[in-house]
A and B are shown apart, each in its own frame.
Chain A
Amino acid sequence: MAIYVYAENINGIYKKAAFEAVSYAKAIADKDGETVTAISINPTDSSDLLYKYGADKVLNIKDEGLKGFSAKAYAQAVNEVADGNIIVFPHTTDASSVAPMLAIMKSYSLITNALEAPESLSPFQVKRRAFSGKGIMHAKADAAGVIVTVSQNAFGIKENAVSGSEEVKNLSVANEDTKVISHEQSSGKLDLKEAEIVVSAGRGMKGPENWGMIEDLANLLGAATACSKPVSDIGWRPHSEHVGQTGKAISPNLYIAVGISGAIQHLAGVNSSKTIVVINSDPEAPFFKSADYGVVGDAFQIIPQLTEKIKALKG
Chain B
Amino acid sequence: MKILVCISSVPDTTSKINFTADQSAFDKNGIQWVINPLDEFGLTKAIKLQESAGATVTVINVGDSTTEPVIRKSLAIGANDAIRINIEPKDSYSVAKEIANIAQSGGYDLIFCGKESIDYNGGAVPGMVAQLLNQPFINACVGLEVNGAEATAVREIEGGKETISVKLPAVIAGQKGLVDEKDLIIPNMRGIMSARSKPLTVREPVNNEVKVDAVSFDAVPARAAVKMVAPDNLDELVRLLHEEAKVI
Contact = CB atoms under 8 A, between A and B. Distances in A.
Nearest to A149: B123
Interface string A272-309: 10111110000000001111111111100110011001
Main secondary structure of the interface of A (DSSP, over half): mixed
A247 B229 contact: no
Contacts, number: 277
B121 A130 contact: yes
A131 B119 contact: yes
- Most chain A CB within 10 A, of B128, B175, B211, is at B211
Nearest to B100: A104
Contacts of B224: 292
- Most chain A CB within 10 A, of B167, B182, B241, is at B241
A254 B248 contact: yes
Interface of B: 11, 13-17, 19, 26, 37-38, 92-93, 96, 118-128, 130-132, 135-140, 142, 152, 155-167, 170, 175-177, 181-182, 210-220, 223-224, 226-231, 234-235, 237-238, 240-242, 245, 247-248
A260 B230 CA distance: 18
Contact of B223 (A105, A111, A292): A292
A10 interface: yes
A138 B238 contact: no
Given A103-B128, A130-B121, A177-B170, 15 more contacts: A75-B131, A92-B158, A109-B211, A110-B212, A131-B118, A131-B120, A131-B121, A138-B216, A138-B217, A183-B163, A193-B158, A272-B220, A278-B226, A292-B227, A306-B238
27 contacts: A15-B158, A92-B158, A94-B157, A97-B137, A101-B131, A104-B128, A104-B132, A111-B212, A133-B220, A135-B26, A135-B218, A138-B216, A141-B211, A142-B212, A176-B167, A178-B167, A181-B165, A183-B157, A184-B161, A189-B159, A245-B13, A246-B175, A274-B245, A288-B228, A291-B223, A294-B227, A301-B231
Contacts of B247: 197, 253-254, 274-275
Contact of B92 (A10, A110, A289): A110
Given A292-B227, A294-B228, A310-B248, A72 B137 contact: yes
Contacts of A293: 226-229, 237, 240-241, 245
B13 to A, nearest CB: 5
Nearest to B214: A137
Contacts of B93: 103, 109-110
A309 B16 CA distance: 38
Given A130-B121, A143-B211, A275-B245, A135 B162 contact: no
Interface in A139-197: 139-143, 176-186, 189-194, 197
A246 B176 contact: yes
B248 A313 contact: yes
A67 interface: no
Contact of A101 (B137, B158, B160): B137
- Most chain B CB within 10 A, of A94, A104, A176, is at A104
Given A10-B158, A131-B17, A178-B167, A100 B128 contact: yes
Given A247-B176, A296-B228, A135 B220 contact: yes
B138 A178 contact: yes
